[in-house]
């Protein structure tokens, strides 16, 4: 796993200090695998922002694994726990980045949406893809300006209109550029607010219609950006967006700034959405594809 694993380890230092130390203490003092041990492990998960229902579910899966594989040695329980956590986070349909694709990115202002788009653009360009950004969060002039700065940083093209423009009109022009330049990835910055669900729904429906009509053969993904430092509140926010639009996955930011990394497990279980990318630092390279095995290895 090399340097990416090291960067993940470093980026999740606060979660590691919280979660790993607690787990090590429980495993270190345990003599036999019994209900008391399971209760302690469950408590560690709950106090690390994993959430009650998710924690109970994870421990039930661990018990089943112990029974099925006839694990009786406490020393082997840690690896079993890692396996359970990794399996818990596995996505049934892996995120496919081959071929032309359009990504709609939504999320409230302040969660790191524009920054994440810039980092995604950099990542795809580093993979040899031709990327175009669409500044379709037209509610704030600052959002357009910020995206332009990130487009320059990432070395990609941007399509923008003035503040207050129709977001679907921006996307239309961006789609024309996408087709004319034979680009591989179009990333649309959209919906930076949730003050009026009906308006938001109409806006996103209009954008989706433009994309489907103009480039129906490109794969389309909708991603929501959530701030990891807000823990369980991030789930509430995602539920709100999910009630008005289809979502395919999550970009979870600012995990380097929180001990609440356990929320990753809760998000998957509660929202039934895969975590696709995680932010583990400020740098342009610090948005990583989410690897459940590596994540489980780091936090336990």
268 annotated to a ligand binding site = no
Distance separating alpha carbons of residues 141 and 165, to the nearest angstrom:
10
Q: Mean pLDDT throughout 221-244?
A: 88
- CB-side exposure of 275: number of CA atoms within 13 Å? 33
191 annotated to a ligand binding site = yes
Residue 213 is given by DSSP the state H
State pLDDT tens for residues 177-222. Answer: 999 999 999 999 997 776 677 888 889 999 999 999 999 888 999 9
22 annotated to a ligand binding site = no
113 annotated to a ligand binding site = yes
Q: Is the pLDDT of residue 28 over 50?
A: yes
State pLDDT tens for residues 114-139. Answer: 999 999 999 999 999 999 999 999 98
Distance separating alpha carbons of residues 255 and 260, to the nearest angstrom:
8
Q: How confident is the model at residue 236 (pLDDT cuts 50, 70, 90)?
A: confident
Calculate the alpha carbon distances from 144 to 88, 173, 212, 213, 285 in Å. Answer: 38, 15, 24, 25, 22
114 annotated to a ligand binding site = yes
16 annotated to a ligand binding site = no
279 annotated to a ligand binding site = no
Q: Mean pLDDT throughout 164-187?
A: 96
Q: Which residues contact residue 244 at a Cβ distance below 8 angstroms, ignoring those fewer than 6 apart?
A: 197, 200, 201, 204
108 annotated to a ligand binding site = yes
Q: Which domains, ranges and CATH numbers included, belong to the chain?
A: 101-247 (3.40.50.300)
253 annotated to a ligand binding site = yes
pLDDT value for 1: 43
110 annotated to a ligand binding site = yes
Q: Mean pLDDT throughout 273-300?
A: 89
Full DSSP string of 78-134: HHHHHHHHHHHH--SSPPP--S-EEEEEE--TTSSHHHHHHHHHHHHHHTT--EEEE
List the end-to-end C-alpha distance of the chain, in Å, as a whole number.
Answer: 16
Q: Is the pLDDT of residue 27 over 60?
A: yes
112 annotated to a ligand binding site = yes
Distance separating alpha carbons of residues 73 and 230, to the nearest angstrom:
37
Mean pLDDT (the chain) is: 90
Residue 38 is given by DSSP the state H
56 annotated to a ligand binding site = no
Q: Is the pLDDT of residue 42 over 90?
A: yes
239 annotated to a ligand binding site = no
118 annotated to a ligand binding site = no
193 annotated to a ligand binding site = yes
pLDDT value for 195: 66
């Amino acid at each position: 796993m090399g340097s990416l694993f090291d960067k993940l380890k470093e980026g999740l230092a606060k979660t590691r200090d919280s979660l790993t130390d607690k787990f090590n203490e429980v495993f270190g003092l345990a003599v036999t695998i019994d209900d008391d041990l399971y209760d302690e492990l469950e408590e560690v998960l709950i106090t690390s922002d994993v959430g009650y229902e998710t924690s109970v579910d994870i421990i039930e899966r661990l018990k089943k694994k112990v029974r099925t594989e006839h694990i009786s040695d406490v020393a082997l329980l840690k690896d079993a726990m890692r396996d359970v956590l990794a399996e818990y986070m596995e996505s049934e349909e892996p995120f496919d980045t081959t071929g032309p694709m359009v990504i709609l990115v939504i999320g409230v202002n302040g969660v790191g949406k524009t920054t994440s788009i810039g980092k995604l653009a950099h990542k795809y360009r580093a993979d040899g893809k031709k990327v175009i950004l669409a500044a379709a969060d037209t509610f704030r002039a600052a959002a357009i300006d910020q995206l332009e700065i990130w487009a320059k940083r990432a070395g990609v093209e941007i399509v923008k209109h003035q503040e207050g423009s129709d977001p679907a009109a921006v996307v239309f022009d961006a789609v024309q550029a996408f087709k004319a330049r034979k680009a591989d990835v179009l990333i649309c910055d959209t919906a930076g607010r949730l003050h009026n669900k009906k308006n938001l729904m109409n806006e996103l429906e209009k954008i989706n219609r433009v994309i489907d009509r103009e480039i129906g053969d490109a794969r389309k993904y909708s991603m929501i950006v959530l701030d990891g430092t807000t823990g369980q509140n991030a789930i509430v926010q995602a539920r709100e967006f999910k009630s008005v639009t289809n979502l395919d996955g999550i970009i979870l930011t600012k995990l380097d700034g929180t001990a609440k990394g356990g929320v990753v497990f809760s998000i998957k279980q509660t929202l039934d959405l895969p975590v696709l990318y995680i932010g583990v630092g400020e740098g342009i390279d610090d948005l990583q594809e989410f690897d459940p095995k590596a994540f489980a290895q780091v936090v336990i």
